[in-house]
Amino acid sequence: MLKPAKTPGDTSWFVNDRFGMFIHWGLYALPARHEWVRHNEKIPTDVYDAKYFTRFDPDLYNPELWAKAADDAGMKYFVVTTKHHEGFCLWDTKYTDYKAPNTPAKRDLLRPMVDAFRGRGLRTGFYYSLLDWHHPDYVIDPHIGPYREVSVEERAKMNAKRRQARYAEYMRNQIRELLTKYGEVDVLWFDFSYPKPDGLGKGKADWESEKLYKLVRKLAPKVILDDRLDLPAGWDVKTPEQFTPRGWVMHEGKPVVWEACQTFSGSWGYHRDEQTWRTTDELVRTLIDSVSKGGNLLLNVGPTGRGEFDERALSRLQGMGQWMRRHNRSIYGCTQAPDEFKTPEHCRLTYNPKSKRLYIHLFAWPFKYLFLDGFAGRVEYAQFLHDASELRLDATDWTAGSARAGSTEKTLLLQLPAISPNVAVPVIELFLK
């Protein structure tokens, strides 16, 4: 079992809580066809704003309901896009007019959200986009942004008055606001850097990441900082996106704290027509899989333009909550199991080092016996987690003898009922000696 390297931020709660909600909410909820719609469809700023900025009116927005949905799902923290790549700000910032109070929403949308989630005991995380397709000083480059196909000459013209350093200062100003006006912020999630060999991408020099970093650590020394500022060190968490790593995530030969961020259906912002929604069972497995490899899961919701979680999101959150209510003991406080316990076929193991309990998650129902290599003599008691019903350690059935063929004396044979319990993923709880 590996232990992640120590970093400046306080990750102690984070590696315990394991499960958070990502929220992508901005003007892009109105086109409802991906948060990158401005880039994908090369929509000019004035057109985008005339259509969406003037019509952003989330009249059904009730962050209490969002917080409840997250809490009921078993999530322990949330990370919201205070500003995404489009540049639009959810809060009442002093530094731009491109903000929620100037839309028909007419108010700071961030504050009530923070209050609602905190009120339920969830921790607060702010996502902040380094990219900005709206700011007049953001230097336009050919890789990212709505102007990616303009000629070199045209680009030079468009950039004549733009000063990236002023944009970097704008970011510091906004981060100061976010870290001083909304109470304690637990996670700060910058997104993202894209240095390119042609020098036309953007990275630490363009963001002035070192200055930004110093400011963050001064204002919020314990905040958990993600790894997308293009800095070699000082960050706390690696952020694999839309996949689960194969095992521990390493950085320069050392294991690090990590959090996989995943969507329900592919896009992060509300996408009306996307048909690729994952099932509740798959999502439960994704969460288990992350924890079994020592990581967290940040699962995303894209609320609608009227300010609601849509039915597809709600039903999945509810389904996950149903599973979590009875099984969260195999998630909270858990991590990868010690190496001597071999993962049985079609299973995932998690382990709670404090209680010394080991959890076997059955992704496929075994044909009567579960062969546990390396477990013999190490287990005191076994039960299903959902109903605390005992699983006898001594396989007593007359077939057990022949079933043992191929096992060693270190193999423990668990005999399971013929029919799988009616839960998304059955879990066996082992009390270790």
Q: Where are the beta strands (DSSP E) in 35-186?
A: 77-83, 123-129
CB of 131 to ligand GLC, least distance (A): 7
Question: Which helix (H) or strand (E) covers residue 39, if one does?
Answer: helix 37-40
Buried b (16+ CB within 10 A) or exposed e, 191-226: bbbbeeeeebbbbbebbbbeebbebbeeebeebbbb
Which is closer to ligand GLC, CB of 185 or CB of 358?
185
Nearer to ligand GLC, 24 or 293 (CB): 24
**Partners of 126 in beta bridges:** 80, 188
Q: How far is the CB of 228 from ligand GLC (least distance, A)?
A: 8
List the Cα angle 327/328/330 in 5-degree steps: 80
Nearer to ligand GLC, 262 or 352 (CB): 262
Instruction: Give me the least distance between CB of 204 and ligand GLC, in Å please.
Output: 17
CB-nearer residue toward ligand GLC: 36 or 323: 36
Residue 207 or 375 with smaller CB distance to ligand GLC: 207
CA distance 9 to 238: 13
- Of 244 and 352, CB closest to ligand GLC: 244
Nearest approach, Cβ of 226 to ligand GLC (angstroms)?
9
Nearer to ligand GLC, 140 or 425 (CB): 140
CB nearer ligand GLC, residue 93 or residue 129: 129
Q: By the 8 A CB rule, do 85 and 35 touch?
A: yes
C-alpha dihedral (336, 341, 347, 352), degrees to nearest 10? -40
Closest contact distance (angstroms) between CB of 241 and ligand GLC is 5
Q: How far is the CB of 270 from ligand GLC (least distance, A)?
A: 12
Q: Which residues bind ligand GLC (CB under 6 A)?
A: 24, 35-36, 191-192, 241, 261, 268
Whether 59 contacts 306, CB under 8 Å: yes
Q: Which is nearer to ligand GLC, 179 or 261 (CB)?
A: 261
C-alpha 224, offset from chain centre: 13
Q: Which residues contact 42 (CB under 8 A, 6 or more apart)?
A: 146, 147, 148, 149
- The token duo for 391 is 């699983």
Alpha-carbon distance 179 to 182, whole Å? 7
- Minimal CA–CA distance to 90: which of 103, 77, 109? 109
How far apart, in whole angstroms, are the C-alpha atoms of residue 229 and residue 232? 9
Where does 193-305 have alpha helices with state H?
204-207, 209-219, 280-292
Task: Tell the smallest beta-carbon distance from residue 227 to ligand GLC (Å).
Answer: 11
CB of 212 to ligand GLC, least distance (A): 18
Shortest spacing between CB 257 and ligand GLC, in angstroms: 16
Cite the DSSP H helix spans in 100-163: 110-119, 152-159
